[in-house]
Amino acid sequence: MFRLAARKQSQFVSLVTKRNQSFWASIQKAPADKILGLTVLYNNDTNPNKINLGVGAYRDNEGKPWILPSVKAAEEILSKTEVNKEYVPIVGSPKFNELIKKMLYTNDEAGLQLLKDERIVTAQGISGTGSLRVLGEFIKTFHSNKKVLVPNPTWANHVAILEKSGLITDKYSYYDFETNALNESGMLADLAAAEPGTVVLLHACCHNPTGVDPELEQWDKILDVISEKKLLPILDMAYQGFRSGNPIDDLAILFKFNKAVADGKLPNFMLSQSFAKNMGLYGERVGSLSLITSGAEESVRVKSQLEKVIRPLYSSPPSHGSKLVEIILSEESIYNQWLEDVKIMSDRLVDMRALLYDKLKNTYGNKLNWEHLLNQKGMFCYTGLSEEQVQKLIEKSVYLTSDGRISIAGIYPANVDNLAKAIHEVTSE
Protein backbone atom coordinates (compact mmCIF):
# COMPACT_ATOMS: atom_id res chain seq x y z
CA MET A 1 0.00 0.00 0.00
CA PHE A 2 2.82 2.38 0.93
CA ARG A 3 4.69 1.63 -2.32
CA LEU A 4 1.54 2.21 -4.38
CA ALA A 5 0.96 5.54 -2.70
CA ALA A 6 4.56 6.54 -3.22
CA ARG A 7 4.39 5.61 -6.91
CA LYS A 8 1.20 7.63 -7.37
CA GLN A 9 2.83 10.57 -5.60
CA SER A 10 5.87 10.29 -7.91
CA GLN A 11 3.65 10.14 -11.00
CA PHE A 12 1.73 13.17 -9.78
CA VAL A 13 4.96 15.14 -9.21
CA SER A 14 6.23 14.12 -12.66
CA LEU A 15 2.96 15.22 -14.27
CA VAL A 16 3.03 18.57 -12.49
CA THR A 17 6.70 19.06 -13.43
CA LYS A 18 6.01 18.40 -17.11
CA ARG A 19 2.97 20.64 -17.02
CA ASN A 20 5.06 23.50 -15.56
CA GLN A 21 8.18 22.85 -17.62
CA SER A 22 9.64 25.80 -19.50
CA PHE A 23 8.85 25.92 -23.17
CA TRP A 24 12.56 26.58 -23.73
CA ALA A 25 13.82 23.61 -21.70
CA SER A 26 15.20 21.79 -24.73
CA ILE A 27 17.17 24.76 -26.09
CA GLN A 28 20.91 24.14 -26.25
CA LYS A 29 23.47 26.83 -25.49
CA ALA A 30 24.68 28.47 -28.70
CA PRO A 31 28.39 28.71 -29.40
CA ALA A 32 29.85 32.11 -28.60
CA ASP A 33 30.26 34.60 -31.43
CA LYS A 34 33.86 34.24 -32.57
CA ILE A 35 34.66 37.94 -32.41
CA LEU A 36 32.57 38.92 -29.39
CA GLY A 37 33.79 35.79 -27.60
CA LEU A 38 37.35 37.01 -28.09
CA THR A 39 36.41 40.28 -26.42
CA VAL A 40 35.17 38.37 -23.37
CA LEU A 41 38.49 36.51 -23.16
CA TYR A 42 40.37 39.76 -23.60
CA ASN A 43 38.36 41.52 -20.89
CA ASN A 44 39.01 38.66 -18.45
CA ASP A 45 42.75 38.66 -19.14
CA THR A 46 44.75 40.33 -16.34
CA ASN A 47 47.90 40.77 -18.43
CA PRO A 48 48.57 44.53 -18.60
CA ASN A 49 50.16 44.06 -22.04
CA LYS A 50 47.19 42.24 -23.60
CA ILE A 51 46.29 43.16 -27.18
CA ASN A 52 42.83 42.98 -28.79
CA LEU A 53 42.98 42.56 -32.58
CA GLY A 54 39.53 41.02 -32.92
CA VAL A 55 36.88 43.73 -32.96
CA GLY A 56 36.68 45.87 -36.10
CA ALA A 57 36.31 49.29 -34.48
CA TYR A 58 38.72 52.17 -35.00
CA ARG A 59 41.13 53.06 -32.20
CA ASP A 60 43.41 56.09 -31.97
CA ASN A 61 47.18 56.11 -31.44
CA GLU A 62 46.63 55.45 -27.75
CA GLY A 63 44.36 52.49 -28.41
CA LYS A 64 41.20 54.36 -27.38
CA PRO A 65 37.84 54.78 -29.15
CA TRP A 66 37.61 58.03 -31.09
CA ILE A 67 34.56 60.22 -31.56
CA LEU A 68 35.18 62.08 -34.80
CA PRO A 69 35.43 65.90 -34.48
CA SER A 70 32.87 66.16 -37.30
CA VAL A 71 30.46 64.02 -35.29
CA LYS A 72 31.00 66.14 -32.18
CA ALA A 73 30.28 69.27 -34.21
CA ALA A 74 27.11 67.68 -35.59
CA GLU A 75 26.04 66.66 -32.08
CA GLU A 76 26.43 70.23 -30.91
CA ILE A 77 24.24 71.56 -33.70
CA LEU A 78 21.66 68.82 -33.18
CA SER A 79 21.42 69.56 -29.46
CA LYS A 80 20.40 73.14 -30.30
CA THR A 81 18.14 72.50 -33.29
CA GLU A 82 16.37 69.17 -32.69
CA VAL A 83 12.67 69.73 -32.12
CA ASN A 84 11.26 66.19 -31.82
CA LYS A 85 11.97 62.50 -31.42
CA GLU A 86 9.10 61.40 -33.64
CA TYR A 87 9.08 58.30 -35.82
CA VAL A 88 10.65 58.69 -39.23
CA PRO A 89 8.98 57.18 -42.32
CA ILE A 90 9.39 53.45 -42.98
CA VAL A 91 12.22 53.98 -45.49
CA GLY A 92 13.80 56.68 -43.34
CA SER A 93 14.14 60.43 -43.33
CA PRO A 94 13.50 61.96 -46.77
CA LYS A 95 16.33 64.44 -46.21
CA PHE A 96 18.69 61.59 -45.27
CA ASN A 97 17.80 59.64 -48.39
CA GLU A 98 18.27 62.65 -50.66
CA LEU A 99 21.68 63.35 -49.13
CA ILE A 100 22.64 59.69 -49.56
CA LYS A 101 21.73 59.88 -53.24
CA LYS A 102 23.78 63.07 -53.56
CA MET A 103 26.83 61.49 -51.92
CA LEU A 104 26.67 58.19 -53.79
CA TYR A 105 25.27 59.06 -57.19
CA THR A 106 26.18 62.65 -58.15
CA ASN A 107 29.93 62.26 -58.45
CA ASP A 108 29.91 60.43 -61.77
CA GLU A 109 28.08 60.95 -65.04
CA ALA A 110 26.38 57.56 -65.04
CA GLY A 111 25.11 58.02 -61.49
CA LEU A 112 23.67 61.39 -62.39
CA GLN A 113 21.90 59.80 -65.35
CA LEU A 114 20.41 57.08 -63.16
CA LEU A 115 19.13 59.76 -60.79
CA LYS A 116 17.69 61.79 -63.65
CA ASP A 117 15.89 58.69 -64.95
CA GLU A 118 14.56 57.97 -61.43
CA ARG A 119 16.14 54.53 -61.44
CA ILE A 120 17.46 54.62 -57.85
CA VAL A 121 15.37 53.65 -54.82
CA THR A 122 17.16 54.50 -51.58
CA ALA A 123 16.20 53.74 -47.99
CA GLN A 124 17.75 54.36 -44.61
CA GLY A 125 18.96 51.11 -43.08
CA ILE A 126 20.11 49.88 -39.69
CA SER A 127 23.78 50.22 -40.61
CA GLY A 128 25.14 47.90 -43.30
CA THR A 129 24.01 44.79 -41.46
CA GLY A 130 20.36 45.78 -41.33
CA SER A 131 20.49 47.12 -44.87
CA LEU A 132 21.73 43.77 -46.16
CA ARG A 133 19.04 41.95 -44.19
CA VAL A 134 16.35 44.06 -45.86
CA LEU A 135 17.86 43.36 -49.28
CA GLY A 136 17.90 39.66 -48.41
CA GLU A 137 14.22 39.75 -47.50
CA PHE A 138 13.45 41.64 -50.70
CA ILE A 139 15.30 39.06 -52.80
CA LYS A 140 13.55 36.19 -51.04
CA THR A 141 10.16 37.77 -51.72
CA PHE A 142 10.58 39.02 -55.27
CA HIS A 143 13.51 37.31 -56.98
CA SER A 144 13.12 33.89 -58.57
CA ASN A 145 16.65 32.73 -57.73
CA LYS A 146 17.25 32.28 -53.99
CA LYS A 147 20.95 31.43 -54.25
CA VAL A 148 23.61 33.93 -53.17
CA LEU A 149 27.30 33.47 -53.88
CA VAL A 150 29.60 35.00 -51.26
CA PRO A 151 33.40 35.32 -51.41
CA ASN A 152 35.58 32.69 -49.77
CA PRO A 153 36.24 33.96 -47.18
CA THR A 154 33.76 36.66 -46.23
CA TRP A 155 32.56 38.29 -43.03
CA ALA A 156 30.93 35.41 -41.16
CA ASN A 157 27.78 37.40 -40.42
CA HIS A 158 27.11 37.80 -44.15
CA VAL A 159 26.17 34.13 -44.40
CA ALA A 160 24.00 34.28 -41.27
CA ILE A 161 22.16 37.40 -42.47
CA LEU A 162 21.41 35.98 -45.89
CA GLU A 163 20.40 32.53 -44.68
CA LYS A 164 18.13 33.99 -41.98
CA SER A 165 16.48 35.85 -44.83
CA GLY A 166 15.57 32.49 -46.34
CA LEU A 167 18.27 32.46 -49.01
CA ILE A 168 20.78 29.74 -49.86
CA THR A 169 24.46 30.66 -49.78
CA ASP A 170 27.44 29.17 -51.56
CA LYS A 171 31.01 30.37 -52.01
CA TYR A 172 33.03 31.64 -54.93
CA SER A 173 36.83 31.65 -54.96
CA TYR A 174 38.26 34.95 -53.80
CA TYR A 175 41.40 34.73 -51.70
CA ASP A 176 44.57 32.89 -52.67
CA PHE A 177 45.72 31.37 -49.40
CA GLU A 178 49.18 30.67 -50.83
CA THR A 179 49.97 34.17 -52.09
CA ASN A 180 47.78 36.20 -49.71
CA ALA A 181 46.32 37.97 -52.75
CA LEU A 182 43.25 37.84 -54.99
CA ASN A 183 42.49 34.56 -56.72
CA GLU A 184 41.37 36.28 -59.91
CA SER A 185 41.14 33.22 -62.14
CA GLY A 186 39.23 31.20 -59.55
CA MET A 187 36.82 34.05 -58.90
CA LEU A 188 36.06 34.62 -62.57
CA ALA A 189 35.65 30.88 -63.20
CA ASP A 190 33.24 30.43 -60.30
CA LEU A 191 31.12 33.40 -61.33
CA ALA A 192 31.08 32.18 -64.93
CA ALA A 193 29.78 28.81 -63.72
CA ALA A 194 26.83 30.34 -61.86
CA GLU A 195 23.25 29.94 -63.04
CA PRO A 196 21.68 33.06 -64.60
CA GLY A 197 19.88 35.12 -61.98
CA THR A 198 22.18 34.00 -59.17
CA VAL A 199 22.82 36.75 -56.63
CA VAL A 200 26.48 37.56 -55.98
CA LEU A 201 27.71 39.47 -52.94
CA LEU A 202 30.73 41.71 -53.57
CA HIS A 203 32.71 43.91 -51.17
CA ALA A 204 33.08 47.40 -52.62
CA CYS A 205 36.44 48.03 -50.94
CA CYS A 206 38.57 46.97 -47.96
CA HIS A 207 37.36 43.38 -48.12
CA ASN A 208 36.53 41.88 -44.73
CA PRO A 209 38.33 39.76 -43.55
CA THR A 210 41.21 39.72 -46.04
CA GLY A 211 41.90 43.35 -46.90
CA VAL A 212 42.36 42.22 -50.52
CA ASP A 213 40.48 44.18 -53.21
CA PRO A 214 40.40 43.69 -56.98
CA GLU A 215 42.17 46.42 -58.90
CA LEU A 216 40.06 48.59 -61.22
CA GLU A 217 40.94 46.57 -64.33
CA GLN A 218 40.05 43.38 -62.49
CA TRP A 219 36.65 44.87 -61.66
CA ASP A 220 36.11 45.32 -65.40
CA LYS A 221 36.59 41.58 -65.89
CA ILE A 222 34.28 40.80 -62.97
CA LEU A 223 31.58 43.06 -64.38
CA ASP A 224 31.93 41.43 -67.80
CA VAL A 225 31.22 37.99 -66.31
CA ILE A 226 28.33 39.30 -64.20
CA SER A 227 26.84 40.87 -67.33
CA GLU A 228 27.35 37.80 -69.54
CA LYS A 229 25.89 35.42 -66.94
CA LYS A 230 23.03 37.77 -66.01
CA LEU A 231 23.88 37.71 -62.30
CA LEU A 232 22.34 40.06 -59.71
CA PRO A 233 25.11 41.84 -57.75
CA ILE A 234 24.94 43.23 -54.23
CA LEU A 235 27.70 45.66 -53.36
CA ASP A 236 28.43 45.73 -49.63
CA MET A 237 30.20 48.97 -48.68
CA ALA A 238 31.12 49.04 -45.01
CA TYR A 239 34.54 50.72 -45.24
CA GLN A 240 34.04 53.58 -47.68
CA GLY A 241 37.01 55.93 -47.35
CA PHE A 242 39.37 53.49 -45.66
CA ARG A 243 40.99 52.32 -48.91
CA SER A 244 42.12 55.63 -50.39
CA GLY A 245 41.54 57.98 -47.46
CA ASN A 246 38.70 59.71 -49.31
CA PRO A 247 35.06 58.52 -49.24
CA ILE A 248 34.34 59.84 -52.73
CA ASP A 249 37.44 58.27 -54.29
CA ASP A 250 36.37 54.95 -52.78
CA LEU A 251 33.20 55.10 -54.87
CA ALA A 252 35.23 54.19 -57.97
CA ILE A 253 33.75 50.68 -57.98
CA LEU A 254 30.20 52.02 -57.60
CA PHE A 255 30.85 54.31 -60.58
CA LYS A 256 31.69 51.24 -62.68
CA PHE A 257 28.41 49.58 -61.69
CA ASN A 258 26.50 52.79 -62.42
CA LYS A 259 28.07 52.94 -65.88
CA ALA A 260 27.33 49.26 -66.53
CA VAL A 261 23.64 49.94 -65.84
CA ALA A 262 23.58 53.18 -67.83
CA ASP A 263 25.24 51.40 -70.77
CA GLY A 264 22.76 48.52 -70.67
CA LYS A 265 25.25 45.86 -69.53
CA LEU A 266 23.43 45.39 -66.21
CA PRO A 267 19.70 45.73 -65.57
CA ASN A 268 20.00 45.99 -61.80
CA PHE A 269 22.28 45.96 -58.80
CA MET A 270 21.85 46.50 -55.06
CA LEU A 271 23.97 48.36 -52.51
CA SER A 272 24.22 48.18 -48.73
CA GLN A 273 26.21 50.98 -47.14
CA SER A 274 27.28 51.82 -43.58
CA PHE A 275 28.40 54.88 -41.62
CA ALA A 276 29.61 52.75 -38.69
CA LYS A 277 33.27 52.91 -39.64
CA ASN A 278 33.75 56.07 -41.68
CA MET A 279 31.79 58.24 -39.24
CA GLY A 280 32.49 56.16 -36.15
CA LEU A 281 28.73 55.79 -35.61
CA TYR A 282 28.98 52.15 -34.54
CA GLY A 283 26.28 52.20 -31.89
CA GLU A 284 23.98 54.56 -33.78
CA ARG A 285 23.33 51.84 -36.43
CA VAL A 286 22.93 54.08 -39.45
CA GLY A 287 23.45 53.22 -43.10
CA SER A 288 21.53 52.93 -46.34
CA LEU A 289 20.43 50.56 -49.07
CA SER A 290 19.86 51.19 -52.75
CA LEU A 291 18.06 49.27 -55.47
CA ILE A 292 18.58 50.13 -59.13
CA THR A 293 15.45 49.74 -61.24
CA SER A 294 14.52 50.03 -64.93
CA GLY A 295 12.83 53.40 -64.55
CA ALA A 296 10.51 55.74 -62.66
CA GLU A 297 7.39 53.58 -62.78
CA GLU A 298 9.24 50.51 -61.56
CA SER A 299 10.88 52.57 -58.81
CA VAL A 300 7.45 53.51 -57.45
CA ARG A 301 6.46 49.85 -57.28
CA VAL A 302 9.77 48.76 -55.79
CA LYS A 303 9.63 51.44 -53.09
CA SER A 304 6.08 50.45 -52.14
CA GLN A 305 7.11 46.82 -51.72
CA LEU A 306 10.29 47.80 -49.91
CA GLU A 307 8.10 49.50 -47.32
CA LYS A 308 6.10 46.29 -46.97
CA VAL A 309 9.34 44.37 -46.33
CA ILE A 310 10.67 46.81 -43.74
CA ARG A 311 7.45 47.42 -41.79
CA PRO A 312 7.23 44.00 -40.04
CA LEU A 313 11.01 43.86 -39.47
CA TYR A 314 11.52 47.04 -37.42
CA SER A 315 8.72 49.42 -38.45
CA SER A 316 11.05 52.38 -39.10
CA PRO A 317 14.75 53.09 -38.55
CA PRO A 318 16.26 55.01 -35.61
CA SER A 319 16.57 58.74 -36.09
CA HIS A 320 19.45 60.07 -33.99
CA GLY A 321 22.29 58.73 -36.12
CA SER A 322 20.60 59.72 -39.35
CA LYS A 323 20.17 63.27 -38.08
CA LEU A 324 23.91 63.43 -37.42
CA VAL A 325 24.62 62.14 -40.91
CA GLU A 326 22.28 64.75 -42.36
CA ILE A 327 24.18 67.55 -40.63
CA ILE A 328 27.60 66.19 -41.65
CA LEU A 329 26.62 65.78 -45.29
CA SER A 330 24.80 69.11 -45.59
CA GLU A 331 26.98 71.55 -43.59
CA GLU A 332 30.01 72.37 -45.75
CA SER A 333 32.47 73.05 -42.93
CA ILE A 334 31.48 69.90 -41.06
CA TYR A 335 31.56 67.87 -44.26
CA ASN A 336 35.11 69.06 -44.92
CA GLN A 337 36.03 68.18 -41.34
CA TRP A 338 34.60 64.69 -41.93
CA LEU A 339 36.81 64.26 -44.99
CA GLU A 340 39.80 65.18 -42.81
CA ASP A 341 38.66 62.73 -40.11
CA VAL A 342 38.42 59.86 -42.60
CA LYS A 343 41.90 60.70 -43.91
CA ILE A 344 43.28 60.63 -40.36
CA MET A 345 41.81 57.18 -39.74
CA SER A 346 42.93 55.79 -43.09
CA ASP A 347 46.45 57.20 -42.73
CA ARG A 348 46.83 55.75 -39.25
CA LEU A 349 45.88 52.28 -40.51
CA VAL A 350 48.49 52.59 -43.28
CA ASP A 351 51.09 53.76 -40.75
CA MET A 352 50.39 50.85 -38.41
CA ARG A 353 50.74 48.36 -41.27
CA ALA A 354 54.12 49.84 -42.12
CA LEU A 355 55.21 49.94 -38.48
CA LEU A 356 54.30 46.30 -37.84
CA TYR A 357 56.06 45.29 -41.07
CA ASP A 358 59.16 47.20 -40.02
CA LYS A 359 59.20 45.60 -36.57
CA LEU A 360 58.80 42.09 -37.97
CA LYS A 361 61.41 42.43 -40.71
CA ASN A 362 63.96 44.88 -39.34
CA THR A 363 63.70 44.64 -35.56
CA TYR A 364 63.14 40.90 -35.26
CA GLY A 365 64.41 39.72 -38.65
CA ASN A 366 61.42 37.49 -39.30
CA LYS A 367 62.07 35.27 -42.32
CA LEU A 368 58.47 35.13 -43.62
CA ASN A 369 57.19 37.32 -46.44
CA TRP A 370 55.03 40.04 -44.88
CA GLU A 371 54.47 42.13 -48.03
CA HIS A 372 50.74 41.42 -47.78
CA LEU A 373 50.67 43.55 -44.62
CA LEU A 374 51.47 46.52 -46.84
CA ASN A 375 49.43 45.49 -49.89
CA GLN A 376 46.13 44.73 -48.21
CA LYS A 377 43.78 47.64 -47.59
CA GLY A 378 41.57 48.94 -44.82
CA MET A 379 40.95 47.85 -41.28
CA PHE A 380 41.84 44.18 -41.58
CA CYS A 381 44.79 42.02 -42.55
CA TYR A 382 44.67 38.32 -43.31
CA THR A 383 48.01 37.40 -41.78
CA GLY A 384 48.36 33.83 -43.02
CA LEU A 385 48.84 32.62 -39.45
CA SER A 386 47.60 29.07 -38.79
CA GLU A 387 45.01 28.17 -36.15
CA GLU A 388 47.80 26.65 -34.06
CA GLN A 389 49.83 29.86 -34.26
CA VAL A 390 46.74 31.91 -33.41
CA GLN A 391 46.16 29.80 -30.31
CA LYS A 392 49.77 30.34 -29.22
CA LEU A 393 49.30 34.08 -29.69
CA ILE A 394 46.17 34.02 -27.55
CA GLU A 395 48.21 32.25 -24.87
CA LYS A 396 50.55 35.26 -25.10
CA SER A 397 47.54 37.59 -24.57
CA VAL A 398 47.28 38.58 -28.24
CA TYR A 399 43.65 38.10 -29.27
CA LEU A 400 42.69 37.52 -32.91
CA THR A 401 40.25 35.30 -34.80
CA SER A 402 41.15 31.69 -35.55
CA ASP A 403 41.52 32.40 -39.29
CA GLY A 404 44.43 34.74 -38.59
CA ARG A 405 42.58 37.98 -39.30
CA ILE A 406 43.81 40.97 -37.33
CA SER A 407 42.25 44.39 -36.94
CA ILE A 408 44.94 46.91 -37.82
CA ALA A 409 43.01 49.46 -35.75
CA GLY A 410 43.99 47.51 -32.62
CA ILE A 411 47.67 48.25 -33.26
CA TYR A 412 49.24 51.43 -31.90
CA PRO A 413 52.79 52.59 -31.08
CA ALA A 414 52.69 51.40 -27.47
CA ASN A 415 51.80 47.77 -28.31
CA VAL A 416 53.30 47.16 -31.75
CA ASP A 417 56.66 45.94 -30.42
CA ASN A 418 55.01 43.36 -28.14
CA LEU A 419 52.79 42.28 -31.04
CA ALA A 420 55.68 41.91 -33.48
CA LYS A 421 57.71 39.99 -30.91
CA ALA A 422 54.84 37.59 -30.23
CA ILE A 423 54.20 37.00 -33.95
CA HIS A 424 57.90 36.47 -34.56
CA GLU A 425 58.11 33.92 -31.76
CA VAL A 426 55.14 31.81 -32.93
CA THR A 427 56.24 31.89 -36.58
CA SER A 428 59.86 31.02 -35.86
CA GLU A 429 59.28 27.86 -33.82
CA-to-CA separations, 88 to 121, 262, 322, 323, in angstroms, rounded: 17, 32, 10, 11
Residue 236 falls in the annotated catalytic set = yes
Write the single-letter amino acid at 184. E
CB 415 within 8 A of CB 64: no
Please tell me which residue in 50, 101, 277, 359 is annotated as part of the active site: 277
Nearest to 363 by CA among 408, 422, 404: 422
Please tell me which residue in 66, 101, 108, 155 is annotated as part of the active site: 155
pLDDT of residue 18: 65
Q: Which domains does the chain have, with CATH numbers?
A: 35-66+344-427 (3.90.1150.10), 87-330 (3.40.640.10)
pLDDT of residue 257: 98
pLDDT of residue 5: 60
Low-confidence stretches of the chain (pLDDT beneath 50): none
Provide the whole-model pTM: 0.91
Residue 155 falls in the annotated catalytic set = yes
pLDDT of residue 21: 86
Residue 50: which residues within 8 A CB-CB, separation 6 or more?
42, 397, 398, 399
3-class state of residue 90 by DSSP: coil
Please tell me which residue in 108, 190, 236, 250 is annotated as part of the active site: 236
Residue 277 falls in the annotated catalytic set = yes
CA-to-CA separations, 121 to 139, 182, 253, 394, in angstroms, rounded: 15, 32, 19, 46
pLDDT of residue 8: 63
